[in-house]
Amino acid sequence: MTTTPRTPLLSETTYAQMRLDIIYGVLKPGAQLTEAELEARYATGKATVRAAIARLSQERLLATAPRLGVVISAVTMRDVVDVFDARAVIEPAITRRAVEAMTDRLFEELRHAAGQLRKPEVQKSLPALLAALHGFHLAVAESLGNPKLTRALAVLLDDTERILHLALAESEFRAELMKMPAKLLAAFLANSPAQVERLSRDLLARVKELTIAALITSRGIDLSPVQRTR
């Protein structure tokens, strides 16, 4: 018996689009919007907008402000450091375990995910490029079959995507980013868990370094808590 796919609720699609617009920088950090402006932008009603605002507020992507409506959350240097430090704790271990559990089928899935980065249309579009990078790293986590671990990394990858949209608006290191999944795949082929774990940590440190260097010149980020950067 076939089942009809469930049509997403309007509240779900509005929330998802608002979330993407914040991550992609369409709704810029610090921007102030009234509920009426959001209703017009997303062609929906007050209840739907309020439901989306409540969810995005829980994720700290925006905050409600009396008489102002909502304010899109700023990205601080503390946020940048915390996100990359958190990824450095869990992601190298994920890649190590992925090598230990690797099968031919899983490797082909990862190779396909990495192959998205070679498509000209992906390389020309920053949102598409960052989405492809997100997809590759998430595919590595999904190969372990641990939904809780995958969800934890997915949150950090969303945060990373938002940060990189800001960083790459001021600097161009996308060519280096595009090569990183291929480097990990080559290490997977060597079947050395320790080597892959070390490479994953080194690549994360490199992206963190490039990102911070780019954001220091950006006007769209709060640099005041920069003392924790290391």
- List pLDDT tens digits, range 37-71: 999 999 999 999 999 999 999 999 999 988 778 99
- Give me the mean pLDDT over the 127-151 stretch: 94
d(CA 215, CA 208): 10
**DSSP letters of 72-137?**
EPP-BHHHHHHHHHHHHHHHHHHHHHHHHT--HHHHHHHHHHHHGGG-HHHHT-HHHHHHHHHHHH
Per-residue confidence band for 218, with pLDDT thresholds at 50, 70 and 90: low
Predicted pLDDT at 214? 87
For residues 182 and 223, which has the higher predicted lDDT (pLDDT)?
182
Taking the model in full, what pTM does it have? 0.84
For residue 227, pLDDT over 70 is answered with no
For residue 171, pLDDT over 70 is answered with no
Domain extent listing, the chain: 10-72, 77-228
Per-residue confidence band for 217, with pLDDT thresholds at 50, 70 and 90: confident
- Give me the mean pLDDT over the 148-169 stretch: 92
CATH of domain 10-72: 1.10.10.10
d(CA 114, CA 7): 30
Contacts by 126-135, CB closer than 8 A, 24 or more apart: 126/165, 126/168, 126/174, 127/24, 127/165, 129/174, 129/177, 129/178, 130/161, 130/164, 130/165, 131/161, 133/177, 133/180, 133/181, 134/158, 134/160, 134/161
For residue 221, pLDDT over 90 is answered with no
Fold (topology level) of 77-228: Four Helix Bundle (Hemerythrin (Met), subunit A) (1.20.120)
Q: Report the chain's mean pLDDT, rounded to a whole number.
A: 88
Q: Which residues of 119-142 are buried (b: 16+ CB within 10 A; e: fewer)?
A: eeebbeebeebbbbbbbbbbbbbb
| Closest alpha carbon to 220 in 174, 173, 164, 159 | 164
Per-residue confidence band for 219, with pLDDT thresholds at 50, 70 and 90: low
List all residues 6 or more positions away from 164 whose beta carbon is below 8 Å from its beta carbon. 130, 177, 211
Under 8 Å between Cβ of 27 and 56: no
Could you give the maximum distance between any two Cα atoms of the chain, in Å?
A: 60
Axis crossing angle, helix 126-142 with helix 104-115, rounded to the nearest 10: 170
pLDDT in tens, 119-136: 999 988 888 999 999 999
For residue 193, pLDDT over 50 is answered with yes
Low-confidence winner among 68-72, 102-106, 111-115, 217-221 (lowest mean pLDDT): 217-221
For residue 229, pLDDT over 90 is answered with no
Predicted pLDDT at 174? 85
Per-residue confidence band for 226, with pLDDT thresholds at 50, 70 and 90: very low
